[in-house]
Amino acid sequence: MLDIRNLHVRAENKEILKGIDLRVNAGEVHAIMGPNGSGKSTLARALSGHPEYHVTGGEVLFEGRDLLEMDPDERAREGVFMAFQYPVEIAGVNNAYFLKAALNAKRKHHGEPELDAMEFMALIKSKSSLLDIDQSMLSRAVNEGFSGGEKKRNEIFQMALLEPKLAILDETDSGLDIDALKLVATGVNAMRGPDRAFIVVTHYQRLLDYIVPDYVHVLSGGRIVRSGGKELALELEKKGYGWIDASTGPGSSRAESTDATGAQPVGA
């Protein structure tokens, strides 16, 4: 589904990603972990087409098409979804109105009829209970005055509504208490399936207790320095990121040189 080859990304005049290779197949959940500043969020934002993240080398294929050629909105309509680390507050835009516009933009793109207000409300109702989205969250302005937990739930709710092929969760767990974390995880797990892939960017192993990944990759210094199964996350939790840096040295190793945990080989 997603094939990242030797991706280099600059942001704020600094090279952040220095050659990322990663292949994600339909049905898989990949966790991207790493210390602060390792480039985790840069990877997520570059994949979503954020204008401040400039791809300076490499390529990204999404279902065989050049993802980097697409505008951010086209990526979204084609089925790439990013749950924001910091969801943006949009004053004056009603959340339900926004969700309907987003959903219909996608439906139109795929030649499907747009949903009218009645159909949309029915859909909302069927999707909202899982994430404990109440009426007030729908009738307020997008993310405005939402608590941290409400914002993240709203992101996952959007994902549930838009049913992307590839969902990228950018530190969705940061700042969540355990109850909110469980809600978010339940929402994500309900959407796991053979046709959908997830990239879960997180600093902490905790989220992965609830969203169990198929693969874990560790980013350091803008490169994937280690890949493995879900055990890798536990090992990281125990030993800390210092262990990665000590065992590989920053930038000393490529993801190809991975372990014996049976993870798929990554990279080209």
Partner 1 sequence: MTQVAEKLQPWLSVTEGRPHTGPRWLQDLRDRAAARFSALGFPTVRDEEWRFTNVAPIASAEFKPAGADATLATEAELSGYLYSDAAIRIVIVNGHLAPGLSRTTGLPAGVRVGSLAAAVTDHTEIVQRYLGQLADFGTRAFTALNTALATDGAYVYIPDGVVLEQPIHLLFVTTASAASGPIMSSARALIVAGERSQARIVETYVGPQGTSYFTNAVTEVVAGEGSVLDHYKVQQESVQAFHVGSMHVHAARAANFSSHSFSLGGKLVRNDAAALLDGEGAECTLNGLYLADGDRLVDNHTAIDHAKAHCPSHEIYKGILGGRAHAIFNGKIIVRQDAQKTDAKQTNRALLLSDDATINTKPQLEIFADDVKCTHGAAIGQLDDDAIFYLRARGLTYFEARDMLIHAFAGDILDRVKIEPLRVALEAELYAQLARDLAELDAA
User: Read out DSSP for 128-166?
Assistant: HTTTT--HHHHHSEETTT--HHHHHHHHHHHHHHH--SE
Among 5, 18, 109, 254, binds partner 1 (CB under 8 A): 109
CB of 73 to partner 1, least distance (A): 4
# chain residues binding partner 1, by CB under 8 A: 28
Are the CB atoms for 199 and 32 separated by under 8 Å?
Answer: yes
Contacts of 62 (CB under 8 A, 6+ apart): 1, 2, 3, 75, 78, 80, 166
> Rounded to an integer, what distance in angstroms lies between the CA atom of residue 235 and that of residue 85?
25
Are the CB atoms for 220 and 241 separated by under 8 Å?
Answer: yes
> Rounded to an integer, what distance in angstroms lies between the CA atom of residue 22 and that of residue 17?
13
Are the CB atoms for 46 and 9 separated by under 8 Å?
Answer: yes
> Rounded to an integer, what distance in angstroms lies between the CA atom of residue 41 and that of residue 34?
10
Closer residue to partner 1 in complex, CB, 98/241: 98
> Rounded to an integer, what distance in angstroms lies between the CA atom of residue 47 and that of residue 209?
25
CB of 237 to partner 1, least distance (A): 31
- Per-residue binding string, partner 1, 140-179, x by CB under 8 A, is -x----------------x---x-----------------
CB of 22 to partner 1, least distance (A): 20
Among 61, 68, 105, 115, binds partner 1 (CB under 8 A): 105
CB of 139 to partner 1, least distance (A): 13
Considering only residues 1 to 60 of the shown chain, the ones binding partner 1 according to CB under 8 A are: 48-51
> How many CB atoms lie under 10 A from the CB of residue 51?
8
- Per-residue binding string, partner 1, 60-99, x by CB under 8 A, is -----------xxx-xxx---xx-x--xx-xxxx----x-
Closer residue to partner 1 in complex, CB, 110/238: 110
CB of 182 to partner 1, least distance (A): 25
CA dist 129 → 29, 156, 187, 194 (Å) = 24, 12, 10, 23
Closer residue to partner 1 in complex, CB, 132/144: 144
CB of 143 to partner 1, least distance (A): 9
CB of 90 to partner 1, least distance (A): 5
Binding region for partner 1 (CB under 8 A): 48-51, 71-73, 75-77, 81-82, 84, 87-88, 90-93, 98, 101-102, 105-106, 109, 141, 158, 162
